[in-house]
Amino acid sequence: MPLTPELAPLAPHPGVSYVMPVLNEAEHIEGAIRSILGQEYAGPKEIVLAMGPCTDATDDVVRQLQREEPRLRTVTSPTGRTPAGLNLAIKGSKYPVIIRVDAHTELEPHYTARGVATLLRTGAADVGGLMDAQGKTAFQRAVATAYHSPLGLGGAAYHSGAPEGPAESAYLGIFRREALDAVGLFEETLWRGQDWDMCLRLRQAGYTVWFDPEMTVTYWPRSSWNKVIRQFYAAGIWRAELARRHKEGKSIRHFLPPLLVLGLVIGLVAEVLLLAKVPDTWPVWVAVLVLLAGFVPVLYALGIIYAALTIKARLTMAERLRLLIVLPSIHISWGLGYIRGRIMGARGTVDTSRRKS
């Protein structure tokens, strides 16, 4: 374990730079920026947007906001990829505290003040809080429920909550600039999962990553079934890429979706064999295994129905019915992505859910 590097003292209310990669976010970008402008924080602030090659009305929205707010600046991000945009925005910023914000998020008013206070109190290099997924439509609220539940995304601390303390990773993150500089900023070959990689490199360098459940960020999930599938397929691929690169990049919960996919495939094949009638020449143990395998899809379907109806959330029946689609969509698309990523690597996989259509 390396010695903890010494961080320079901070003023009680140091200047903060909000950095945000942006690509085709016309629907959410104004809400994200106004949540930053509404932060109840006494120190100086600036916002630096890394603007990718947008094909929707995002640029127009940002230009209008710039006319209202002189602290809002932009840098050009030619690729539109998240880690490259983050690095460009960080390099274009000036304050000692870097606060990452995504265009799909909105910060609660005390987020900055609490995060900076936690940096000062703990001596951490990175502090993160809870991702509070919310929805505006019935489908989006179903997706948000899946984010919060261990039956959806597996129960990471920043989804479902945990006691305050040192953490493996942090959602978004409030960073000490000098720590980011020390480890070389974000890894630009990781188009997804670069936040987890950053936290790993900070911890390997001896810095502390800290989880504070009193910090809350509202997150707006993808609003259509097609985009949810594309998002989680890409997420599975890049999580597998992280597992290929880092021995620390593995968790039991990461293996469950790919095992589920394999189980469903085997189960469906077994059901076809059973419908074709078990040959008399099969040994009894083979017939029993095929019979048991054939129950896997049925048991999974029953489990999804049970989860959708009993999951702890204030949902209408229409929203619970949408969970019947959302939960398996997340599990299966993520699992397929992980299998592909483990076999082939990420190979420049793009999260196409961020495209306009």
Give the whole-angstrom CA distance, residue 74 versus residue 328. Answer: 39
Strand partners, 106: 218
Among candidates 222, 199, 213, 196, which has minimal Cα distance to 103?
222
Q: Give the pLDDT confidence score for residue 350 in this predicted structure.
A: 85
The angle at the Cα of 83, spanning 82 to 89, to the nearest 5 degrees, equals 90
Q: Give the pLDDT confidence score for residue 307 in this predicted structure.
A: 92
Q: Identify whether residues 212 and 282 lie together within a single domain.
A: no
| Burial of residue 302 (number of CB atoms within 10 Å: 0-12, 13-18, 19+) | exposed
DSSP-assigned states of every residue in 299-317: HHHHHHHHHHHHSSS---H
Q: Give the pLDDT confidence score for residue 112 in this predicted structure.
A: 97
Q: Quick check: is 322 in a domain?
A: yes
The answer to whether the CB of 257 falls within 8 A of the CB of 338 is yes
Q: Give the pLDDT confidence score for residue 154 in this predicted structure.
A: 60
| Burial of residue 94 (number of CB atoms within 10 Å: 0-12, 13-18, 19+) | exposed
Among candidates 89, 90, 14, which has minimal Cα distance to 45?
14
Residues with Cβ within 8 Å of residue 346, at least 6 apart in sequence: 190, 191, 192, 237, 238, 240, 241
Q: Identify whether residues 339 and 194 lie together within a single domain.
A: no
- Give the CATH number, domain containing residue 211: 3.90.550.10
Calculate the alpha carbon distances from 223 to 135, 163, 203, 217, 271 in Å.
8, 31, 35, 18, 34
Indicate the residue among 208, 223, 238 that finishes a domain. Answer: 223
Give the domain range for residue 97.
Answer: 16-223
- CA dihedral angle for residue 28, residue 77, residue 98, residue 192, rounded to 10 degrees: 70
Q: Quick check: is 157 in a domain?
A: yes
Q: Quick check: is 1 in a domain?
A: no
Task: Say if strands 165-166 and 209-219 run parallel, antiparallel, or are unpaired.
Answer: antiparallel
Q: Quick check: is 174 in a domain?
A: yes
Among candidates 219, 253, 302, 200, which has minimal Cα distance to 32?
219
Please report where in the chains the tokens 């000692």 appear, as a residue: 96
Tokens of residue 2, six digits: 């390396």
Q: Give the pLDDT confidence score for residue 158 in this predicted structure.
A: 58
Q: What is the pLDDT along the chain (357 residues), one digit of tens a residue?
A: 556 788 989 999 999 999 999 999 999 999 999 999 999 999 999 999 999 999 999 999 999 999 999 999 999 999 999 999 999 999 999 999 999 999 999 999 999 999 999 999 999 999 999 988 999 999 999 999 998 888 887 655 555 567 889 998 889 999 999 999 999 999 999 999 999 999 999 999 999 999 999 999 999 899 899 999 999 999 999 999 998 988 876 678 888 999 999 999 999 998 888 777 766 777 887 778 888 888 899 999 999 999 999 998 889 999 999 999 999 999 999 999 999 999 999 988 888 877 655
Q: Give the pLDDT confidence score for residue 161 in this predicted structure.
A: 61
Residues with Cβ within 8 Å of residue 355, at least 6 apart in sequence: 24, 55
Give the whole-angstrom CA distance, residue 298 versus residue 268. Answer: 10
Q: Identify whether residues 160 and 301 lie together within a single domain.
A: no
Q: Identify whether residues 266 and 323 lie together within a single domain.
A: yes
Q: Quick check: is 284 in a domain?
A: yes
Q: Quick check: is 139 in a domain?
A: yes
Q: Identify whether residues 195 and 320 lie together within a single domain.
A: no
Give the whole-angstrom CA distance, residue 152 versus residue 171. Answer: 17
Give the whole-angstrom CA distance, residue 268 versus residue 63. Answer: 53
Q: Quick check: is 120 in a domain?
A: yes
List, in sequence order, the alpha helices (H) in 38-137.
58-68, 82-91, 111-122
Q: Give the pLDDT confidence score for residue 57 in this predicted structure.
A: 95
Q: How many CB atoms lie within 10 A of CB 96?
A: 18
Q: Identify whether residues 114 and 56 lie together within a single domain.
A: yes
Tokens of residue 114, six digits: 């609490």
- The dihedral region occupied by 161, where left means phi > 0, alpha psi between -120 and 50, and beta the remainder, is left
Q: Identify whether residues 277 and 142 lie together within a single domain.
A: no
Q: Identify whether residues 69 and 193 lie together within a single domain.
A: yes
Q: Identify whether residues 44 and 119 lie together within a single domain.
A: yes
Q: Identify whether residues 346 and 260 lie together within a single domain.
A: yes
Q: Quick check: is 228 in a domain?
A: no
pTM of the model: 0.88
Q: Identify whether residues 39 and 132 lie together within a single domain.
A: yes
Among candidates 25, 170, 209, 156, which has minimal Cα distance to 102?
25
Indicate the residue among 205, 223, 241 that finishes a domain. Answer: 223
Residue type, 345: G
Domain count, the chain: 2
